[in-house]
Structure 1
Amino acid sequence: MDDWYSREQALRELGVAAQTLYAYVSRGMIARRADPADPRRSQYRSDDIAALTQRRARGRRPAAIAASTIAWGEPVIDTAISTVVHGRLIYRGQDATTLAATAPVEDVARLLWQGDAIPALPPGAAALDPFVALAALVGTARALPGRSHERRCTDAAAAIAALGGALGASGEGPLHRRLARGWGLDPSAADVVRRALVLLADHELNASTFAARVAASTGAPMAACLLAGLSALSGPRHGRAGAATAALAQEADARGAGAAVARWLADHRVLPGFGHPLYPLGDPRAAALLDGIALDPALAALCDAAAEACDGAPNVDFALLAMTRALALPEDASFRLFALGRSIGWAAHVMEQAMHDAIIRPRARYAGARVRE
């Protein structure tokens, strides 16, 4: 999925001399490989060059650096849990798409939580609102400070089980089978649910994960931290972004894919379900989830129209919509899968944040009325 520039293209994009390009390579800032067509020549990774160009454009003033952390900018928190690098989603050094091929969700929790013995998830209560299910645990929950790692894992397992029950999981057993049982799915469809939960388990410092870490930095109980993450996830620009993708697909069903895509783009809107800032060459989670899912003709036409209009590759929101249609899942299955899968990552970040005895408390740059003397 990587894209590579020739030496001449790299120099043109960076606007630097050859010696500076070689310095970037020697410092590990830009990856280099031999040109497959001519091993005597070198190629340079395009996304490394794009990231370096953006950092140089922002400059190094403290205000510019701070502002750039807000949206897809400079890293702001150290983590060993997950990252996105060169178009790949990595969980503690392992490719998430490789894990999704066979790994149970519980094994991914064990990897992310670094727990030798992840406690079995107890049965979750059914027919509860997910927010109510987590809030019900907060009142009697223990704060994070002073809890051992094993007890934090137990707290996380209990909270995720309660969340799963509220989102439709039924009975006991592996988490993906509980959800499949609640949705009345056969074993092959249950495996697609497993893949989705693994691929959604974590995604670096996204908005909901940051919310969970902020809550953890205050010492709030595990269930409260997961509730903070769930609240952030519920917004239409995050976990409920799938609703916009579904609306685009419904318009494509009614008016034709080309007309629907043209109208959305004419309204100066980002095309939902396609493209991702961290994956300029395509979302690997979508590719892994769509593998084995047959697109219906309308969704296939929508993919073609998006590719022709804006070179848009399907992202995970589109893949979840395709999954929902193919398996006849509940209308809000995309959000449910996101919430249940991502809760595993939230718990990992809560545990990691709890190791730091400091509150996350950035400063604001005041832009209001002038203070009167």
Structure 2
Amino acid sequence: MDKPSLDLTSAEEASSRLGISRASLYAYVSRGLIRSFSSPHDPRQRLYALDDVETLVKRRIRFRRPTAAAATALDWGLPVLETSLTQIKDGRLLYRGVDAVELARTATLEDTARLLIGGLDAGTFARPFPATGLATFPTIGLQAFLTRAIRLLSEPVPEEAMAAEVPTILHLMAGAGGGGASEAKPIHQCLAEAWGASPQAADGIRRALVLCADHELSASAFAVRVTASTGASLRNAVIAGLAALSGPRHGGETERVRDFLEQGETSAADHAQPYPGFRHPLYPDGDPRGAALIENMPLLPWDAEILRTTEGMTGRRPTIDAALVMMERAYGLPRGAAFALFAIGRTAGWLAHAVEQRSQGSLIRPRARYVVVEEAPSP
């Protein structure tokens, strides 16, 4: 790799940060714990991925201090739950061992739901669904979508819907984006028709839904699992996921990306500031979902320029959030379609997490460490 898109450091600095010898550093490299690259200035010199070094430093501190490990486990920390659903490994996203990027080339969201949840036969989605009664929306918007989705999920459940709860929930979520249908069609087709999308855009919608389906133990997936562990219904577990997704540091990132792109078209972008949607802690070399979604997309000129500028100056590539907004803009989808696609696609993963958590039969109930807060003295 001649020009790695990540921060690098010298062997001396890496060894010093870790408090180890050069020999131990080379052993870490041979075990795949730290990536090394040839220096662009001196081919005889090796440089080391700073993110990998810092990850090992933090891990060593946590293991030396068990209380610190427990306290930080929920903040991009150590694994806290076992799952057979999704794995992020070596820059790849895997659904039950299947590469999500490869899956997205041909699969539908329904195919992905069957893969993640398991136990669903091929005919699960081959049935008509009741119309949601919602019209096509020129704009969707985060809060409007959330309001409609929660309302639909909270309505009384007919007996026939209870028999096919998983596909019904997915179609209700599609209905919140205006893509509800009264006949059995793939969800991406329902959305494409409701949004007046071209065939090329419809295929992009399909790929986006698959790429958004799950992302290991995200904040919303954790909220779903906590809710499901109490014995709550699948619908209420999904509502918990929606509430977590609404935050600006999760699904709401698409709103920040859109605002940035729209503002940049009318004023000069500040290249000294980090752009939203161009860095993910779990993918030092770039989010593979973002790259897969943008591939062969007819980007708007400004969006294409931002991609070139950002990668050229910082080496950073678009996350799935940035890619979803660029797709919304490229195909003229309703404003807010990026968030809707994220939420509808992620519902497949939420349902899989809820089902898996229920099968474990345990309540998620961590303990808190009480800290005395000193009150300020009275004036």
> Which TM bucket (shorter chain)?
0.7 to 0.9
Q: Which whole-Å CA distance do the structure 2 matches of 1:328 and 1:277 have between them? A: 30
Aligned to 2:226: 214
Aligned to 1:351: 355
TM-score (norm 2): 0.81
- Shift of residue 33, structure 1, vs aligned partner: 9.9
Judged with a 3 Å threshold, the aligned counterparts in structure 2 of structure 1 residues 299 and 32 are, in CA distance, closer, same or farther, namely closer
Aligned to 1:38: none
How many residue pairs match? The answer is 350
Deviations 1:89-120 (A, max 9, x none): 11111111111111122211111011241511
Judged with a 3 Å threshold, the aligned counterparts in structure 2 of structure 1 residues 73 and 34 are, in CA distance, closer, same or farther, namely closer
Q: Which moved more, 1:13-22 or 1:197-206?
A: 13-22
Q: Which runs of 5+ in 1 are unaligned?
A: 36-40, 144-150
- Shift of residue 13, structure 1, vs aligned partner: 6.0
Match of 1:336 among 320, 336, 340: 340
Aligned to 1:30: 33
Judged with a 3 Å threshold, the aligned counterparts in structure 2 of structure 1 residues 141 and 354 are, in CA distance, closer, same or farther, namely farther
Q: Which moved more, 1:9-18 or 1:180-189?
A: 9-18
The code of the aligned residue for 2:170 comes to: I
- Shift of residue 315, structure 1, vs aligned partner: 1.2
Judged with a 3 Å threshold, the aligned counterparts in structure 2 of structure 1 residues 217 and 310 are, in CA distance, closer, same or farther, namely same
Is residue 77 from structure 1 mapped to residue 81 from structure 2 by the alignment? yes
Judged with a 3 Å threshold, the aligned counterparts in structure 2 of structure 1 residues 185 and 358 are, in CA distance, closer, same or farther, namely same
Is residue 164 from structure 1 mapped to residue 168 from structure 2 by the alignment? no
SS of residue paired to 2:179? coil
The code of the aligned residue for 1:247 comes to: D
Percent identity among equivalent residues?
Answer: 42
- Shift of residue 88, structure 1, vs aligned partner: 1.0
Match of 2:71 among 47, 67, 70: 67
Aligned to 2:119: 115
RCO comparison, higher one (Cα < 8 Å, 6+) = 2
Q: Which moved more, 1:173-182 or 1:293-302?
A: 293-302
Deviations 1:166-191 (A, max 9, x none): 22214231111111111111222111
SS of residue paired to 2:64? coil
Q: Which moved more, 1:345-354 or 1:46-55?
A: 46-55
Aligned to 2:91: 87
Please tell me whether the aligned partners of residues 101 and 195 of structure 1 are also in contact (alpha carbons under 8 angstroms): yes
Is residue 246 from structure 1 mapped to residue 254 from structure 2 by the alignment? no
Deviations 1:129-173 (A, max 9, x none): 111011115799999xxxxxxx6xx32222111111122214231
Please tell me whether the aligned partners of residues 214 and 348 of structure 2 are also in contact (alpha carbons under 8 angstroms): yes
Q: What are the residue-to-residue correspondences of 1:43-192 with 2, within 5 Å? A: 49-117=53-121, 119-120=124-125, 122-123=128-129, 124-127=131-134, 129-137=148-156, 154-171=164-181, 172-192=184-204
What is the RMSD computed on CA atoms of the aligned residues? Answer: 3.4
The code of the aligned residue for 1:291 comes to: E
Q: Which whole-Å CA distance do the structure 2 matches of 1:250 and 1:22 have between them? A: 47
Deviations 1:311-343 (A, max 9, x none): 432111111111011110111111100110000
Judged with a 3 Å threshold, the aligned counterparts in structure 2 of structure 1 residues 301 and 256 are, in CA distance, closer, same or farther, namely farther
Match of 2:307 among 293, 303, 309: 303
Match of 2:206 among 194, 197, 200: 194
SS of residue paired to 1:355? helix
Judged with a 3 Å threshold, the aligned counterparts in structure 2 of structure 1 residues 17 and 158 are, in CA distance, closer, same or farther, namely same
- Shift of residue 30, structure 1, vs aligned partner: 2.6
Judged with a 3 Å threshold, the aligned counterparts in structure 2 of structure 1 residues 7 and 173 are, in CA distance, closer, same or farther, namely same
Q: Which whole-Å CA distance do the structure 2 matches of 1:320 and 1:159 have between them? A: 22
SS of residue paired to 1:83? strand
- Shift of residue 24, structure 1, vs aligned partner: 5.0
Please tell me whether the aligned partners of residues 224 and 238 of structure 2 are also in contact (alpha carbons under 8 angstroms): yes
Q: Which whole-Å CA distance do the structure 2 matches of 1:14 and 1:8 have between them? A: 11
Q: Which whole-Å CA distance do the structure 2 matches of 1:131 and 1:313 have between them? A: 33
SS of residue paired to 2:250? coil
Please tell me whether the aligned partners of residues 219 and 250 of structure 2 are also in contact (alpha carbons under 8 angstroms): yes
SS of residue paired to 1:343? helix
Q: What are the residue-to-residue correspondences of 1:355-366 with 2, within 5 Å? A: 355-366=359-370
Q: Which whole-Å CA distance do the structure 2 matches of 1:68 and 1:211 have between them? A: 17
Deviations 1:230-289 (A, max 9, x none): 1111112111211111111112111123x3x44xx2xxxx53121111111111000000
- Shift of residue 357, structure 1, vs aligned partner: 1.8
Deviations 1:194-227 (A, max 9, x none): 1000000000111111110000000001111011
- Shift of residue 34, structure 1, vs aligned partner: 12
The code of the aligned residue for 2:330 comes to: A
The code of the aligned residue for 2:33 comes to: I
Deviations 1:22-49 (A, max 9, x none): 76578x66378999xxxxx999887655
Deviations 1:65-89 (A, max 9, x none): 1122222111111111012111111
Q: Which runs of 5+ in 2 are unaligned?
A: 39-44, 135-146
SS of residue paired to 2:281? coil
